A = this chain, B = another copy of it.
Amino acid sequence: MEKNEKKYVTYGSCCPGTPGAKKDITTCCFMLAPMTDRFVDVILEGLKKVDTSRVWTETDRMGTTYRGRRDDVIDAVEACFVHAWQRDVHMTMEMTLTKGCPGDSDCDFKLSDLEEKANAAGIRDIHFPADCRWSLYPLGTDQYMKGIADVVNHSIDLGLYRRTGHAGTILQGDVQDLFAYFSWVFRWCEQHFSHFVMEISWSVNSPTPEE
């Protein structure tokens, strides 16, 4: 390709503080990693069991993306993780949950007008312990450390907090309680920040003993 034919990106023309999408769109990108020779089946079975009728979805080499209403997106990714979980398989999941990017736009989304969540009833009786390392990144504001402390302190109140690691907070608890907490954090952030990103690394059935 000739130099003068290159198509450069121009996020610099975005307006920080103003979400690029005008509609109320939440994005979740995630990547399951079941550490077993049967990884293809585990991932595809998990994805297949999710009712994705209320979110836009795409799966490629780098994982799966859901876009839609906040509650529908979180419901769908929780369902995928819970359905992929197997008692004897160590699995991690990297999950990015975000809203308000100035570079986003009103494309690739579904906004349902149905009240109840599509997957909640089917997964609410499935419980297992999970470990998380997670970080919150509120963008475009210098008041971010106070906000991070406020949401971390809520995890202390809920009994999910284990410790503050380098570059992230370590949580542990029942998968349902952890997803409920992250859903609370997301709603909290919607009230306080124009653009924010939650990066959550999940781990289940780790053979490494706890400290």
Alpha-carbon distance between A17 and B142 when the two chains are bound, in angstroms: 8
In contact, B103 and A168 (Cβ under 8 angstroms): no
Write the nearest CB–CB distance from A84 to chain B, whole angstroms: 12
How many chain A residues touch B (CB < 8 A): the figure is 73
Instruction: Tell me if A37 counts as interface (CB < 8 A to partner B).
Output: yes
Q: Is A112 an interface residue (CB 8 A)?
A: no
**A36-71 CB contacts (< 8 Å) to partner B:** 36-37, 39-40, 59-63, 65, 67
Q: Identify whether the interface residues of A are mostly helix, strand, loop, or mixed.
A: mixed
Flag A178-211 by CB within 8 Å of B: 1 or 0 each.
Answer: 0000000000000000000101010100111111
Binds B, one of A7-15, A75-83, A113-121: A7-15
Partner of A35 from B9, B33, B59 at Cβ < 8 Å: B33
Q: Which residue of B lies closest to A140 (CB)?
A: B142
Question: Which residues of B sit under 8 angstroms from A65, Cβ to Cβ?
Answer: 165-167
Contact B133 A40 (CB under 8 A): no
- Bound-state Cα–Cα, A63 to B157, Å: 26
Q: Can you list, as one digit per residue, whether each of A1-39 has a CB less than 8 Å from chain B (1) or not (0)? A: 000001111111010110000000001010101111101
Q: Which of A8, A59, A101, A170 has the most CB of B within 10 A?
A: A8
List residues of chain B with CB within 8 A of the CB of A62: 131, 133, 165, 170, 201, 203
Q: A16-B142, A94-B201 are in contact. List 19 more A-B contacts (CB 8 A).
A: A6-B157, A9-B156, A10-B149, A12-B145, A16-B143, A27-B167, A31-B133, A33-B33, A33-B92, A35-B39, A60-B208, A61-B206, A61-B211, A62-B131, A63-B133, A96-B135, A96-B199, A98-B167, A101-B167
